[in-house]
Structure 1
C-alpha cells in the first residue's frame, strides 16, 4: 500500500521547484528530514545525497539516496524521483522509492507525491508499520506539504509555521484538560441532590461544546494541517519514467 499526498499551491512553478529541489530549503519545511546534503557527482549522473532524521535526545537515523529530475517535459509538467535506503538498525524504513510531480494549472501548481518503502524488523516491523509508522509517515508528508504551501502563498516561514502549530496544539491541550476537569466537577456536584443536578447540567454542556471545538474545529489559517491535502489520487497514478530509470541503477 503506497502513500499518496497532493497539495494545490498558488505559487510560481520555478519557485516551488527551487524550494523542493534545493536541499537547504527542502530540509526546512519537510518534517521527515532533519538534514539533507548532496554528494559530489560527475556531469550527467543522477544526484546522490545523504539524509538524517534526528529524534531529539534519543538518536539520529541516517541514510543515502539517489535522485533525478525532469525539469522540462512536453506537457509543461515537471517530475523528480528518488530511491533511498538506511542501514541504521533503528530506522523503521529499510529502503524505498518515490516521486514528486509538479502540474501547473490556471491557479498555481498541483504538487503531489507517491512513494512506498520496505519496513524493517520482519513480521513485527510489518505490523508496526501498518498500525503506526505508515499512518505517521502519511500525516508527516501531508503536514509538510501544507507548511510548504504556507511558505509560498503567505510568506510564513517553516519555522514560524511550526511555532504556530505548537502554540495552537498547546492551547487545544489546555482547553481539553480544562474540559476534563469540568466533567470531574460535574460528577462531584451530582452528589448534592436536586441543586447539584441543576448545576451539573450546565457543567456538562459547556465542556462538551468546548471539547467538540477543540477536537473538530479546523486549524487556524496560519497553522499547517495535514487535513488540507488530498490523501488519495483522483485517478490511478503511474510512477514516472525517471523512477524506472533510477531502479535500473540498482
Structure 2
C-alpha cells in the first residue's frame, strides 16, 4: 500500500439505519457510488464475511474484480463499521488490490459517514493523477448518497456528467465533504480501521 490513504467524511441528516440500508445493499450501493457498476455477492466465509465480485464499466471495457467484506451492526458505542478487501488482475484497472472501511457514527444532526482506504497502484507513476481523482469520485458519490437519503432524490437524476451543470446548485458536489480527518493523518487511516479489517482473508487467494 502507498500509505497515502483516501479519506472522505460527510454528515447525513438521517439515522444510522437509513444510511446502513443504502450502503450495505449491493443493489442500492451501485446506484450512488460512481466507482462501481455492479456488485454481486457470492458466498459467506466461516466468519460471516461476504465474498463478492464487482464490475466497473468504462468505454470499451469492463473491469472485474473480487472482494470480501464484513459488517459490525451492534457495537457497544452505537457506531457501526464495514471492512473491505478487494483485488483485480485486470491491467486496465488503476487499482490492483486494496483495503478500507466505512464507519457510521450517530451524531446529533444524523449520521457521520466516513471512509478510509488505500490500495496498490496499477498504473505506476500515473497514480499521482489517479489517486486525487479517486478521492474526488468518492467524495462526489458520498454527496450523491446524502442527497438521496435526505431528500429522496434518486441518484440516477445526477449522472457523472452533472458535475458540469453549474446552473444547478443542488447537484452533488465533492467539496461538501471533508477530505482530511479532523485528527491524525491520512497515512494512519488503515491503522485506525476496525479490527475486523485485519481478520479478512485475502480475496486474491483461493477460497
Normalising by structure 2, report the TM-score. 0.88
Structure with the bigger percentage of helix: 1
Partner in structure 2 of residue 85 of structure 1: 87
Residue-by-residue CA offset, 1:36-86 (whole Å, 9 max, x unaligned): 011122664310011000013x11100000000101101100000000000
In the aligned structure 2, how far is the partner of 1:106 from the partner of 1:127? Answer: 43
Give the deviation of 1:170 after TM superposition: 5.0
User: Runs in 1 of length 4+ with deviation above 2 angstroms?
Assistant: 40-45, 247-250
Asked whether the 8 Å contact 1:162–1:224 carries over to 2, the reply is: no
Instruction: Name the structure 2 match of 1:143.
Output: 140
SS at match of 1:242: helix
248 and 137 in structure 1: CA distance in 2 versus 1, 3 angstrom threshold: closer
TM-score by length of 1: 0.73
Deviations 1:104-141 (A, max 9, x none): 01110000000000012xxxx331001x1101100000
Provide structure 1 residue ranges, at least 5 long, that are not aligned to the other structure: 173-218
State the SS of the aligned residue for 2:44.
Answer: coil
1:39 — aligned with what?
Answer: 42
Larger fraction in strand: 2
- Partner in structure 2 of residue 116 of structure 1: 118
2:182 is matched with 234
Structure with the bigger RCO (C-alpha within 8 Å, sep 6+) is: 2
Structure 2 vs 1, CA of residues 147 and 170 (structure 1 numbering), >3 Å: closer, same or farther?
closer
Q: Report the RMSD for the aligned CA atoms in angstroms.
A: 1.9
The match for 1:158 is 155
Question: Are 1:83 and 1:246, in contact at CA under 8 Å, matched by a contact in 2?
Answer: yes
The counterpart of 1:126, out of the listed 124, 128, 131, is 124
- Structure having the higher Rg: 1
Shift of 1:12: 1.8
